Structure 1
Amino acid sequence: MTFRNKVLRFVSLHAGEEDRKKVYENVRSGISFRGSNLWILACAIVIASVGLNVNSTAVIIGAMLISPLMGPIVGAGFALGTYNFDLLKKSMRNLLISTVVGLGVSAIYFFISPFKETQSELLARTAPNIYDVMIAFFGGIVGVIAITRVEKGNPIPGVAIATALMPPLCTAGYGLAIGNFYYFLGAFYLYTINCFFICIATFLIIKYLKYQPVEILNPKRSKLIRNWISFIIIIMIVPSFYLAYNLYQQRSFDDNVNKFINEEFNNNGYTVIYKKTNFNSAPKKIEVATLTKRFDSAQIVQLNQRLQDYGLSQTELVIRQDEIDLKSEILSELNTQQNVVSEKDLIITNLQKELSVYKFDNITILHEIEILFPEMKNLSIGRQITETESDSAFIETVVIFNSEEETEENEVKLKKWLEQKLSLKNVVVINRGQ
């Protein structure tokens, strides 16, 4: 065997391959959204929406794992690879239905939800780029390789998480619910990227494995399909490159701003207490304020000229020195934080009040009982809530002790003594030793 044949055999995907009829049946069954798949889809939509709403990564991952959206996407790629146009129509129809249902249910959830804040998990899915294309494509390759194996192994859950379909779809629903079409378009574009490149990855692997075509196409029609696929790939990739470039520019801008502030302000002993940047304005803006230093107009002009040295062209530096405006912003921020702290203090105080009802702090009373009633051993005292048959409840003080002697008379005395000494009602004395 030649070295080339050894390499080809080493990287071959034919070893461990599942029976092709069984693969086809599995793909076809995963396309349908009837019965259990429909219920699973509905639950996954709600779970993903809740996870995005409360910013819970664990819940979102759970929704990714149970979502059956991969079924019709893989089915579409499989159908393209085998020229099975009936299967392709069915896959596209089910994908369209599941997409509309996902958008509708998530939009309704976010519309009625009292929490409308845009959490970080939502924001993360509104600006896709070329890296999302790569994740979808290579995740799709892993996914289709896994479904064509006899031993499915661990890749399927990983693919479901990596090629996240449900979160961007629900984020698009969130954009509809709050009327923010920037969020809607960004999230739906990410969802479309994931769907399309998983489909293309499936198509390429099915072609590589040389699955038998259902229809024999003439070269002209086959070329037309390939041209359409290439055209859609270009349409999908070009905006993602632009968004990736824009993300790179924004991060570079932030890094340069931090370097500028560190070297021109912090290193010169000017403590920066306020910083705000705006990358999308024209020109870009940097707003800062210092603790004590006041700059004259010549110094501000000089600092603006220095921006060029830090790669911050077309950027304007604004130094906030209007004490009234600046103090109002700082006080507003402090008041917000103080309100949060005050709410927490209120909750703690209420909890302490609730606990104090049941807490018995007068420990010295136990020593006095031991002196007055030496036959009572292993004393304990506390408060508890007791319900009555009339659906009412009251709090009573309970004294528990051990004694093998007859203590009924002393129990009565102890009860009266405690009620008098501590101004209590409903004292119960219990002897566990009898």
Structure 2
Amino acid sequence: MNKILQFINLNRGEEDRQKVVENVVSNISFRGSNLWVLACAIVVASIGLNVNSTAVIIGAMLISPLMGPIVGAGFGLGMYDFSLLRKSLKNLLIATVVSLTVSTIYFYLSPFKETQTELLARTAPNIYDILIAFFGGLVGVIAITRVEKGNPIPGVAIATALMPPLCTAGYGLAIGNFKFFFGALYLYSINCVFICIATFLIVKYLKYPPVEQLDARRQRQVKYVMTFLIAVMLLPSIWFAFRLYEEKKYNQKVDQFIEKEFDARGYTVLYRKTRYLANPHTIELAFLSHKFSEDEVAQLTSRMRAYGIENSVLRIRQDTTDLKRDILNEIGAERKTLNQKDVAIANLQKQLALSGVDNSKVLPEVTILFPGITNISIAKHLFNEGTDSTKTVYVMLYKTGRDLDKAEKERLTAWLKQKFQVKDFEIYGETLPARETGRK
């Protein structure tokens, strides 16, 4: 047992305690250069979130000095140094206000206000964020108290991620979305509190001497405050984690339903959107060519229960009906009937006008390079990425007498990207029956 205890002993390699405390105190204050570094780091992090660049966000986290006052508060609690605690909390408040102000101004002035995935990732904290903050804080404090600091500090700065939630909160203020603001601020509070608690525990474990000798009553008060903070941060996070778990389970069931009921039967899903937070949940689908009757939709809805999908509505977007109504409104009441072919032609004409792509000029080139293709339609489409943001993607629908293999599809996609000078190009194909292609 002694060998095991010696093996995990944190006192080995420990830095002089007076020097550790001096270093902690020196990193608390936000004056002069520290304040400038903080403001610049906030701008860099805001830009990274704005352009959805993980590398830029990581860079901002590495130069951020926000850990200083949080660790200082943990040392103040652990050593019952309430003067250090007050100073740490005061500087943390200053840093928070400055960070929120700078990020709000940046996002208010920025012409790009799309909600990127990096921003959304900081708006719904859960139990995993608590675990990251706590264990990341443990690593950070252990490293601070070592003679050889090693390289954990940069890793802790990246893992605990104090800067991005603050910038996201500023983004929420800038666009007037208080759900984003409070969600991001809650994540920031989680990180601060649990890094502080981790610091407190290590300071107590290493038995740093108390600055003030407290009676049993004051010590109990400190413990009660710590317990209260843990409960306030922990309980909502458990609920968020449970909701995230339920949503992932639901999406897995929807994936299974779509794969077996549509993909396996050769129906190409062109559009899909799941709204788990709606009551009832909604599943929206659109298909390349197949049109479903009301009876088929009703049967599919009833079969969802077999996959464990409860309290859900299946909506299959049958664009022909809506498009027919729109065209009737535009051309007047003189045309009372429109067959499906007329609607399809009008739809292609609208898509052509929107996309600015002359399919008749592209088709001859495509058929030379890929002889199996008989017809194409190219247009720009706005795709919802499962968030509040959208992405414009070029899409080509083609008809072919034989299935294109994987290599041909990749070559076709690469050629289209090069021709239209775009990064995103999706292709969807339909193989014609032999009687339509003239084959025996």
TM interval, short-chain normalised: 0.7 to 0.9
Instruction: Return the alpha-carbon distance in structure 1 between the equivalents of residues 257 and 115 of structure 2.
Output: 30
Provide the residue aligned with 1:42 in structure 2. 39
Structure 2 residue 17 is matched with structure 1 residue 15: no
Return the match for 1:335 from 380, 392, 417: 380
Cα distance in 2, alignment partners of residues 63 and 260 from structure 1: 42
Looking at structure 2, the residues matched to 209 and 276 of structure 1 have their Cα atoms a distance apart, in angstroms, of: 53
Q: Which residue of 1 aligns with 2:21?
A: 24
* Structure-to-structure mapping, 1:262-277, within 5 angstroms: 262-277=259-274
What is the CA-CA distance between 1:321 and the residue it aligns to? 2.6
| CA shift digits 1:27-56 (9 cap, x unpaired) | 000101112212211111111111111222
Match of 1:369 in 2: none
Q: Contact (CA 8 Å) 2:74, 2:198: kept in 1 or not?
A: yes
Please give the alpha-carbon distance, in whole angstroms, between the structure 1 residues aligned to 2:322 and 2:299. Answer: 24
Instruction: Find the partner of 2:252 among 251, 255, 261.
Output: 255
Which whole-Å CA distance do the structure 2 matches of 1:244 and 1:284 have between them? 19
Q: Scaled by the length of structure 2, what TM-score is found?
A: 0.74
Instruction: Decide which of 129, 139, 142 is 2:136's aligned counterpart.
Output: 139
Letter in 2 for 1:32: S
Q: Does residue 228 in structure 1 map to residue 253 in structure 2?
A: no
Query: Match of 2:122?
Result: 125
Q: CA deviation at 1:297?
A: 3.0
CA RMSD of aligned residues (A): 2.4
Tell me which amino acid in the other structure corresponds to 2:380: N
- Is the counterpart of residue 154 in structure 1 residue 199 in structure 2? no
Q: 1:70-219, aligned counterparts within 5 Å?
A: 70-219=67-216
Q: Which amino acid aligns with 2:169?
A: A
- Matched ranges for 1:407-422 at <5 A: none
Task: Give distance in 1, aligned partners of 2:236 and 2:245.
Answer: 14
> Following TM superposition, by how much is the alpha carbon of 1:324 offset from its aligned partner in structure 2, in angstroms?
4.3
Matched, 1:61 2:58: yes
Which deviates more from structure 2 when the two are superposed, residues 317-326 or residues 259-268? 317-326
SS at match of 1:335: strand
Report deviation, 1:347: 9.9
AA aligned to 1:127 is: A
1:298 match: 295
CA separation of 1:279/1:340 partners in 2, compared to 1, >3 Å: closer, same or farther?
closer
Give the CA deviation at 1:270.
2.8
State how 1:318-329 maps to structure 2 within 5 Å: 318-325=315-322
Does the 8 Å CA contact 2:380/2:394 hold for their aligned counterparts? no
* TM-score for the superposition, normalised by structure 1: 0.75
Amino acid in the other structure paired with 2:13: G
**Pairing 1:337-356 to 2, within 5 Å after superposition:** none
**CA–CA distance in structure 2, aligned partners of residues 292 and 66 of structure 1:** 53
Query: 1:2-39: CA deviations, max 9, x gaps?
Result: xx111111101000101110011000001011122122
**272-281 or 36-45: bigger deviation:** 272-281
| Separation (CA, whole Å) in 1 of partners of 2:292 and 2:380 | 28
For the structure 1 residues 260 and 341, does the alpha-carbon distance in structure 2 shift closer, same or farther, using more than 3 Å as the test? Answer: closer
Helix, strand or coil for the counterpart of 1:139? helix
Alpha-carbon spacing, 1:157–1:291, altered in 2? closer, same or farther (3 Å): closer
Deviation at 1:149, TM superposition (A): 0.5
Q: Which runs of 5 or more residues in structure 2 are unaligned?
A: 324-343, 356-378, 383-390, 396-416, 422-440
Structure 1 unaligned residues grouped into runs of 5+? 349-434
Q: In 2 relative to 1, CA 280–109 (structure 1 residues): closer, same or farther, beyond 3 Å?
A: same
Secondary structure of the residue that 2:310 maps to in structure 1? coil
What is the alpha-carbon distance in structure 1 between the residues aligned to residue 62 and residue 188 of structure 2? 16
Q: Distance in 1 between matches of 2:279 and 2:321?
A: 27
- State the match for 1:423 in structure 2: none
**Superposed displacement of residue 340, structure 1:** 7.0
Give the aligned partner of residue 307 of structure 1: 304
Separation in structure 1 between the aligned mates of residue 149 and residue 380 of structure 2, nearest angstrom: 56
Measure how far apart 1:108 and its partner are.
0.5
Matched residue type, 1:248 = Y
Name 1:411's counterpart in structure 2.
none
SS in 1 for 2:148: coil
Distance 1:117 1:295, change over 3 A: closer
Question: Is the contact made by 2:61 and 2:161 (CA closer than 8 Å) also made in structure 1?
Answer: yes
Task: Determine the structure 1 residue equivalent to 2:375.
Answer: none
In the TM superposition, what is the alpha-carbon distance from 1:286 to its structure 2 partner? 1.1
CA distance in 2, matches of 1:314, 1:246: 16
Partner of 1:390: none
How far the C-alpha of 1:209 sits from its partner, in A, is: 0.3
CA distance in 1, matches of 2:8, 2:156: 21
Partner of 1:284: 281
Identity of aligned residues (%): 62
Distance in 1 (CA, whole Å) between partners of 2:266 and 2:420 is 42
Q: 1:135 to 1:340 in 2, by over 3 A?
A: closer
Q: Distance in 2 between matches of 1:347 and 1:261?
A: 32
Give the Cα separation in 2 of the matches to 1:25 and 1:339: 54
Q: 1:333-366, CA deviations, whole angstroms, 9 ceiling, x for partnerless residues?
A: 9334798779x99997xxxxxxxxxxxxxxxxxx
Deviations 1:263-285 (A, max 9, x none): 11222233333322211111111
